[in-house]
Amino acid sequence: MLGALTAASTTPPAAFQYELGSQGPAMKSAHLNRLSALCLLLSACLVNQATAQGRTTTTPVQHRTASAPLATVKLPDHFTAYASASIGHGRRCVSGISTDEDGMKQTPVVYATNTSGKRLLWIARPELPADVYQSRATHCTVHGDSLYVLLQSDTQASQSLSQTLLRVVKLNASLGTVQLQKDVEVPASYSVWVDKGATRFVWNGNRLVINGNSRLTSDHARLQNFTVRLNSDLEPKGRKP
């Protein structure tokens, strides 16, 4: 159809042919040039119109935000789980790490599933604290509508030179969004860590109780146990009611 339209548009009407035949060569040439330009412009307009009519529109891809089977939501590469705990309402939290291909540079990962573990509800990757080399999400526990995750971070790659620091991240238990995060202070300690076990990071009444180990600032070779109690705003006991 476009070919027919173009062919027709490039042939001058009979009235124009008659008028041109009655004029001199110079005037005839000028008219032909103007007529040729008009025909080309008309042809281009017809082509553009036909192309626009034949063009199909596309709908932007919508990313799925609802719960999806684990098979359709890819967890981070090289993920290793450290702990799993029930967080109520038919849900479980899983805390762990993701590493590079060499098993180095640990970054914290925590996600929630349904009780069977077949449906992923959300996944969160808390940011590394400042001035640390790597970090692990090692424990998780729930209190009210919030999930509390313990991060244990190393300041250097070399274990002999590194300090281990603690941080608690408070997440929305339904969405996995960060609500609050604070470092855990253990007085007179150079390096601190918490061993595996749900009883070492657990709510007791209205206090989050953390039981761990520390190396003293005054003597790095000396180890001792510590207990820290935090409220729901991650403030130590006695600082804030």
Q: In terms of domains, do 90 and 119 share one? A: yes
Q: Is residue 190 situated within a structural domain?
A: no
Angle 163-168-169 from CA coordinates, rounded to 5°: 125
Which pLDDT belongs to residue 151? 98
- Is residue 3 over pLDDT 90? no
- Is residue 192 over pLDDT 70? yes
pLDDT band at 72 (very low <50, low <70, confident <90, very high): low
Q: Is residue 172 situated within a structural domain?
A: yes
Average predicted confidence (pLDDT) for the chain: 79
Q: In terms of domains, do 160 and 74 share one? A: yes
C-alpha pair distances (Å), 172 with each of 34, 178, 196: 72, 6, 23
Q: Is residue 58 situated within a structural domain?
A: no
By CB atoms closer than 10 A (0-12, 13-18, 19+), residue 121 is buried
pTM for this structure? 0.69
Q: In terms of domains, do 75 and 173 share one? A: yes
Q: Is residue 206 situated within a structural domain?
A: no
Q: In terms of domains, do 125 and 95 share one? A: yes
Q: In terms of domains, do 83 and 30 share one? A: no
Range(s) of the domain holding residue 37:
2-47
What is the number of structural domains in the chain? Answer: 2
Q: In terms of domains, do 16 and 113 share one? A: no
